[in-house]
Structure 1
Amino acid sequence: MALTFTTPSNPSYLAEDAIAKIQENPGFGVYFSDHMALIDWTEESGWMNARIVDHAPISMDPAGAVFHYAQEVFEGLKAYHRADGSIWLFRPERNAERFWNSCARLSLPQLPKDDFVEAVRQLVAVDVCWVPTGEEQSLYIRPFAIATESFLGVRPSKAVTFCIITSPVGSYFAGGVAPVDIWVESHHSRVANGGTGAAKCGGNYAASLLAESIAYEHGCNQVMFVDNAEHKWVEELGGMNFVVVTKDNKLVTPELNGNILPGITRDSLLTLAPELGLTVEERPVSLAEVYQGIDDGTVTELFACGTAAVITPIGSLTDESGRHEVNVPVDGGYSIQLRNRLLDIQYGRIADTHGWTQRVC
């Protein structure tokens, strides 16, 4: 049975001029809208008390399980303001499915997918005034679930809170779309075989931060990880999937092997690529193959993709043995063509022939 959400009868908001000021330059993940969605779960009662409330701190006992055993998962999606004033979501059912799978891997209760999507829709509808209208701006939506039982013991929590917060955002990279330099990390692993790589949980990202710091020390913008067993197979960046474009018009990306997050942007691009004349290959990709392809010209583009940044061209790969420069096309190549095609669908500038978008209001 679907949950029924209670919403504030007279919601209060930050002053209109204050919201407008924030939306002039929202940054990414800096400001937050006025409300949040909450759903409680206990082992005895299941999911209950679905509600939209004021954005406020979550009170929890210091013995809360999430603080000690990192039992939590999260998601990321966006709401888009279209030229006609309507507000739309992009493939929220896929986020609901991934959230369901992440919860299973972290031994958290699985929120029904329809309730996940409805919680997103309800919150966006209440805080519609926070959806920015600027170029490439959107309302970033962050659902998450945390273990809240006050108990110091290594077992699944018997109490969980599901929450959604939202944040008006601009481009993920402040300088706009420009090639980034990537450090290839071969010592510190983000995930391990049989681990949580396919789940969207905070521990994966925490494990990437040391390597990210090392990347900065080498003058790079981001870090890319290889497999933890042989240190030869490309997996993904700290928070994005990795894609190769070849001279013979192939789009190649590492196959989902349990270590790689099944990105929704990734999946969408694999569907759109053939429409632009690219042949898609999902398969193991070795670091040696990528380096050789860059050096001999058979690899013409590299890019990273994810909800936050959409597509980010890669200008170079660097590791302890040296730097491999990518000859990025002046016009951006397929990377920018794919990025524009996806954004055009999300913002309603071209027809959505795949049924990916849904209107909120």
Structure 2
Amino acid sequence: MPHNDSLEILVEKHSAPVPEAERTQVLINPGFGNIFTDHMVSIRFNEAQGWHDAKVQARGPIPMDPASSVLHYAQEIFEGMKAYRLADGTTALFRPEQNARRFQASARRMAMPELPEEIFLKSVETLIEIDRDWFPSAEGGSIYLRPFMFASEVFLGVRPAKEYLFMVIASPVGAYFKAGASAITIWVSQHYSRAAPGGTGAAKCGGNYAASLVAQAEAIEQNCDQVVFLDAAEQRWVEELGGMNLFFVMDDGRLITPPLGGTILPGITRESIITLAREEGLTVSEEPYSIDQWREDAASGKLIETFACGTAAVVTAVGTVRSESGEFTIGSGGPGQLTEKLRMRLVDIQRGLTEDKHGWVKRLF
């Protein structure tokens, strides 16, 4: 099978892009995930040619046969990342090579071909450059990038597909959670599991999210912003939210986060927070933390803050936890000092407002 580490990406500019006046208007308050830029990237794969037919073209519907493998066997993966407009007016990505490597890891787990890191990065950077006028004017706005890949072979049979389509689309975004929400309320799912040992929990695949939606719907019914999942075996150990990793701030200066172990998505924001927290002199422990302990520590005051983190929401305080057996509040119910400090440190690095000692920010143009 050919192995193409580098591909030329053909650029076919949109013949009728969104007019400037209309674009300016929607960028004032874009929300999250509802507005899209003019272009998209597509790269095809098959066993005979390897990766080929790479192009940027006008964003639009994808022609798809009803027997396309992804529609029947859900062979699909994706990534979430952001492009930022820095303080000096330049554009940058945050640790994009980590997204490329996680995309490869997800592909391996889902029996899909691995996209070379160089091609992943080039496709994302090319799309950002051609749609550079889509950065929101709102403070904190960014362009959310969604690279994804799915099985496009037309066949009905349970085996890994032989043809795939990799794509990147882009969406100008503002805040992930509703304005004014200083801390979120989360619902403990006690009837549904997100992942189990040996499953796909560590892969960023659509099936994980599909399985979580019934629990998320339950959370919404309970007036909660997000759902938190417990382990599949005992329904005892806290794992992660529907789309974010969790951290627990203790009164003795420790920061606890559940260990990865194959059932939790290895978040890039999570890893960054661990690094920053250790620089602040905190002891970070990746260890199991039970729902009962969470409740007891919140009641005793031993637990002073809880926060969630991820690409979309960055760092968000958790104020209240609800379940069928009642609810409890963490600290004052609002964002704590460490949560805010870590969030600002991370955002300042992402926005180019402070020194990037780790080389996390990749400047583009």
- Scaled to the shorter chain, the TM-score interval is over 0.9
Q: 1:259 to 1:2 in 2, by over 3 A?
A: same
Shift in Å, 1:329? 7.2
> Contact (CA 8 Å) 1:177, 1:313: kept in 2 or not?
no
CA deviations 1:252-280 (Å, max 9, x no partner) are 10011100000000010000012223211
Mapping of residues 113-262 of structure 1, within 5 Å:
113-262=117-266
> Contact (CA 8 Å) 2:39, 2:169: kept in 1 or not?
yes
Which of 19, 23, 26 is the aligned partner of 2:27? 23
For 1:211, the aligned partner's letter is A
Counterpart of 1:5 in structure 2 is: 9
CA RMSD of aligned residues (A): 1.4
For 1:246, the aligned partner's letter is M
Are 1:310 and 2:311 matched, yes or no? no
For 2:90, the aligned partner's letter is S
Counterpart of 1:107 in structure 2 is: 111
Shift in Å, 1:13? 2.5
Are 1:32 and 2:36 matched, yes or no? yes
Counterpart of 1:328 in structure 2 is: 332
SS of match in other structure, 2:353: coil
SS of match in other structure, 1:248: coil
Counterpart of 2:351 in structure 1 is: 347
Shift in Å, 1:114? 1.2
Q: 1:10 to 1:155 in 2, by over 3 A?
A: closer
CA deviations 1:169-196 (Å, max 9, x no partner) are 0000122451111111121111121100
Q: Supply the distance in 1 between the matched residues of 2:206 and 2:177 (Cα, whole angstroms).
A: 21
> Contact (CA 8 Å) 1:81, 1:133: kept in 2 or not?
no
Range moving further from structure 2, 219-228 or 2-11: 2-11
SS of match in other structure, 2:27: helix
SS of match in other structure, 1:18: helix
> Contact (CA 8 Å) 2:14, 2:38: kept in 1 or not?
no
> Contact (CA 8 Å) 1:272, 1:338: kept in 2 or not?
yes
> Contact (CA 8 Å) 2:13, 2:58: kept in 1 or not?
no
Q: Supply the distance in 2 between the matched residues of 1:178 and 1:41 (Cα, whole angstroms).
A: 44
Which runs of no fewer than 5 residues in structure 1 stay unpaired? Answer: none
> Contact (CA 8 Å) 1:93, 1:113: kept in 2 or not?
yes
CA deviations 1:56-77 (Å, max 9, x no partner) are 1111101001111100000000
- TM-score with structure 2 length normalisation? 0.96
> Contact (CA 8 Å) 2:29, 2:138: kept in 1 or not?
no
Shift in Å, 1:12? 5.0
Are 1:288 and 2:292 matched, yes or no? yes
For 1:210, the aligned partner's letter is V
Which of 275, 278, 291 is the aligned partner of 1:271? 275
> Contact (CA 8 Å) 1:88, 1:358: kept in 2 or not?
yes
Q: Supply the distance in 2 between the matched residues of 1:303 and 1:128 (Cα, whole angstroms).
A: 32
Q: Supply the distance in 1 between the matched residues of 2:280 and 2:121 (Cα, whole angstroms).
A: 31
How many residues are matched? 361
Shift in Å, 1:341? 0.7
SS of match in other structure, 1:188: coil
Q: Supply the distance in 2 between the matched residues of 1:203 and 1:10 (Cα, whole angstroms).
A: 32
SS of match in other structure, 1:24: coil
Shift in Å, 1:10? 7.6
Counterpart of 1:14 in structure 2 is: 18
Which of 338, 341, 348 is the aligned partner of 1:337? 341
For 2:288, the aligned partner's letter is P
Q: 1:227 to 1:6 in 2, by over 3 A?
A: same
Shift in Å, 1:28? 0.3
Counterpart of 2:301 in structure 1 is: 297
Counterpart of 1:45 in structure 2 is: 49
> Contact (CA 8 Å) 1:224, 1:238: kept in 2 or not?
yes
Q: Supply the distance in 2 between the matched residues of 1:266 and 1:276 (Cα, whole angstroms).
A: 15
Question: Identity over aligned residues, as a percent?
Answer: 49
